[in-house]
Amino acid sequence: MKVSELISKLQSFPSNADVLCYTEDENFQLKGHIFRLLDIEDIIVSEASKVRINEQPSLKLEKNQNSEPHVLISVITDF
């Protein structure tokens, strides 16, 4: 999702609503739960290149000829 798409979607919701993230990814679930809530802690921009390390998607956080700006949303499991 691009920043403009995120902004457009968020503008259609009440401006005083809390924004939470969630995942149904089994690797993040607590035992006996079908999803996990995540609270947004911070949003930053960082130069990085998308890479795969052992088939896992990752970012190489450095500025080089292949890097581009990425908006990174830091989430925590407590709110």
Whether the per-residue pLDDT at 67 is higher than 90: the answer is yes
* Paired residues of 68 in beta bridges: 48
Q: Cβ contacts of residue 58 below 8 Å, gap of 6+? A: 50, 51, 52
Which residue would you say has higher pLDDT here, 79 or 71? 71
pLDDT of the residue at 79: 78
Instruction: Give the pLDDT confidence of 8-59 residue by residue, as tens digits.
Output: 999 999 999 999 999 999 888 889 999 999 999 999 999 999 999 999 999 9
Asked whether residue 3 is domain-assigned, the answer is no
The type of residue at 22 is Y
**Based on the number of CB atoms within 10 Å of its own CB, is 67 exposed (0-12), middle (13-18) or buried (19 or more)?**
middle
Whether residue 38 lies inside any domain: the answer is: yes
State the pTM of this model. 0.77
Cα angle: 13, vertex 18, 22; to 5 degrees: 95
* Full domain range(s) for residue 54: 14-76
16 phi-psi bin (left φ>0, alpha ψ -120 to 50, beta other): alpha
- Does 4 map to a domain? no
How many structural domains comprise the chain? 1
pLDDT for position 41: 95
Instruction: Please tell me the predicted confidence (pLDDT) of residue 10.
Output: 94
55: in domain: yes
Q: Within a domain: residue 46? A: yes
Domain membership flag for residue 9: no
